[in-house]
Amino acid sequence: MELYDVVLISPPSRAINHFRPPISLVYLGGYLTYKGLRVKIIDPKLDDVIRDKKFYADIDKTLLGIRSKIMQELWKVKTDHVGISCYSGEVDEVKSLVSYIEKSTHATVIVGGIHPTLNPTEFKNTIVGEGEIPLYLRVTGKNLKVKYDIDEISRPNYSLIDMEYYTTPNPYAIRGVYLCSAYILASRGCPASCKFCVAPRLRPYFGTGRYRDMFCVIKEIMYLRNIHNIDGFYFIDDYFTFNKNKVLFFCKHMSNLNTGMVWGCSSRVNIDEELIKAMANAGCVQMDFGVERGSDEALKEIGKGQTVAQIKKTFKLCKKYGIRTLANILVNVKGETLADYDDIETLLDKIKPTVVSVNVYKKYLGAELEEGVGQLREIKNYNSVWANLKFHLSWRYIKILWRSRRKMSYVKQLWTLIREVVNQRFQL
């Protein structure tokens, strides 16, 4: 029986996500292994499962099966500490998992993440804020001051998870672009004040936005390129472009490397042409924007801090420099009317995003905005097959495939992707 200082676990429902690795655990585990601890990540996956109607009808049974896999792996090892990450929407399943672990093992279960940070009394043992150092001190029993710097704690260890699986060709990292991709975290915290988001409440713990050293970020990208053969990557940061100079620095050095890799990120629309051009030259092929609403009044009500004019200008600039765009739309806001839906569709008709993602708002702990009483009507479907195929027929994409060391993986996984489309579960 193998002995570990700590075992880190993802909640069962996260296994349903398409090829999205447990980044928080990769960072936690990476820092702990850097400090000399023995770490295991338990992260069961759903291999080649089509998310069709039957899949969602049987979801409770599937989640019980995933929990069973977690426990089977945990029983095979010996540890005194188990760490579990928890969002607000996962509280019930995490409580159930904690109870199950406590009854069947002697390990102390520690819960961290956004929900325990905002409500530390929800669980018996919690960690508030960024978990790397607090978890290290909890596991080792030490009581000392440790250097707290984003580059000191940002030591992701990808060997702790199945990177062959997570870099399987898929269209879910840069959404709509079929690639062998990885997720990169270049910064922590967000300076925005959107009322539907918990970020403003998390600032005492994560700050208003701190970047890692960009050379460290580039080194990580090149490691993933050389060891795991990725062809692209996606910045999973809440708001990658909040510091123009940092991003320009990154773009300059990525351009000089001439790797042929492409990438995407999330951004707000208050960026200028110089930055968009530099990002395009450095390989950025998609930017995800929180468009959310369709009028200045509605945007002001949700605290978005942007205008319709800014949205139109930025989408036009992205088109000019060949960058695909994803527009996130927010519905089910308290007090919304059919006119709000008309405004949203009018704006989408004007800016013509490559991908549109409609999100039905649900208020979670820490968010200021109140949710509505039910969706008034659906936003019409703006996601055309052709809009997403165009990039894949381009010379740029053909060169990516030609240079890729994972050519056969693209061919093998294509059948699964086709079945997803047929079953109308292509989760853009």
Expressed in percent and rounded to 5, the helix, strand and coil fractions of the chain are: 45, 15, 40
Closest CA to 38 of 140, 130, 134, 112: 140
pLDDT tens profile 27-40: 999 999 999 999 99
**Residue 278 pLDDT grade (very low, low, confident, very high; cuts 50, 70, 90):** very high
Using CA atoms, how far apart are residues 356 and 347, in angstroms rounded to an integer?
12
Q: Are residues 285 and 323 in contact, defined by beta-carbon separation less than 8 angstroms? A: yes
Q: What number is the average pLDDT over the span 192-198? A: 95
Q: Are 241 and 211 in contact (CB under 8 A)?
A: no
Q: How far apart are CA 185 and CA 316, in angstroms?
A: 27
Indicate whether 91 pLDDT > 50.
yes
Per-residue pLDDT at 374: 83
Residue 378 DSSP code = P
Instruction: Tokens 């936690």: give the residue.
Output: 28
pLDDT at 1 over 90: no
Q: What is the pLDDT of residues 366-420, one digit of tens each?
A: 999 999 988 789 999 999 888 888 999 999 999 999 999 999 999 998 887 777 7
Q: What is the mean pLDDT of residues 89-105?
A: 96
CB-based contact 182:230 (threshold 8 Å):
yes
* Burial letters 129-151, b for 16+ CB under 10 A, else e: bbbbbbbbebbbeeeeeeeeebe
Q: Which of 49-53, 123-127, 295-299, 358-362 has the lowest mean pLDDT?
A: 49-53
Greater pLDDT, 374 or 110: 110
DSSP state of 371: B
Secondary structure (DSSP) of 298-366? HHHHTT----HHHHHHHHHHHHHTT-EEEEEEEE-BTT--HHHHHHHHHHHHHH--SEEEEEE----TT
Q: Are 8 and 40 contacting, i.e. CB atoms less than 8 angstroms apart?
A: yes
- Please give the average per-residue pLDDT across 61-77, as a whole number: 94
For residue 58, name the pLDDT band (cuts at 50, 70, 90). confident
| pLDDT (0 to 100) of residue 428 | 43
More confidently predicted of 51 and 150: 150
Per CATH, 2-158 and 167-422 having the same topology is answered: no
pLDDT score of 66 = 94
Looking at the predicted structure, is the pLDDT value of residue 268 above 90?
A: yes
- How confident is the prediction for the chain on average, in pLDDT? 93
Average the pLDDT over 144-164 and give the result: 91
Q: Which amino acid is at 126?
A: T
Q: Name the residue ranges covered by the structural domains of the chain.
A: 2-158, 167-422
The phi and psi torsions of 312 (rounded to 5 degrees) equal -60, -45
Number of H helices, E strands in the chain: 18, 14
- How far, in Å, CA of 174 to CA of 184, rounded? 12
C-alpha distance from residue 121 to each of 146, 200, 229, 241, 401 (Å): 25, 20, 43, 35, 50
CATH topology of domain 167-422: pyruvate-formate lyase- activating enzyme (3.80.30)
- The answer to whether residues 171 and 232 touch, using CB atoms and an 8 Å cutoff, is no
**H or E element: which one contains 286?**
strand 284-292
Q: Compute the distance between CA of residue 123 and CA of residue 109 in angstroms, rounded to an integer.
A: 9
pLDDT score, position 424: 54
**Spatial CA neighbour of 214 closest among 186, 183, 245:** 186
Q: What is the mean pLDDT of residues 359-365?
A: 94
pLDDT, mean of residues 218-235: 98
Average pLDDT over residues 81-102: 96
For residues 279 and 247, the answer to whether their CB atoms sit within 8 Å is yes
Q: Measure the CA–CA gap between 129 and 145, rounded to whole angstroms.
A: 16
> How far apart are alpha carbons 25 and 9 in whole angstroms?
8
What is the percent of the chain with per-residue pLDDT over 90, rounded to a whole number? 85
Query: Residue 410: what pLDDT?
Result: 95
Residue 157: its pLDDT value, please?
Answer: 98
The predicted structure's pLDDT at residue 416: 79
Strands 284-292 and 262-267, by their bridges, are parallel
Q: Which of 402, 406, 389, 330 is nearest to 171 (CA)?
A: 389
- Among 55-69, 228-242, 298-312, the range scoring the smallest mean pLDDT is 55-69
- pLDDT at residue 4, rounded to an integer: 98
- Tell me the C-alpha distance between 179 and 181, whole Å: 6
- For 343, phi and psi rounded to 5 degrees? -65, -40
- With a CB cutoff of 8 Å and minimum separation 6, the contacts of 116 are 86, 122, 123, 126, 127, 128
What strand order describes the sheet that includes 6-9? 39-42, 6-9, 81-85, 108-112
Q: Is residue 47's pLDDT more than 80?
A: no
User: Tell me, what's the pLDDT at 427?
Assistant: 44
Residue 426 has what pLDDT? 44
Per-residue pLDDT at 425 exceeds 60: no
Q: Which fold has domain 2-158?
A: Rossmann fold (3.40.50)
Among residues 238, 218, 110, 220, which one has the least CA distance to residue 155? 220
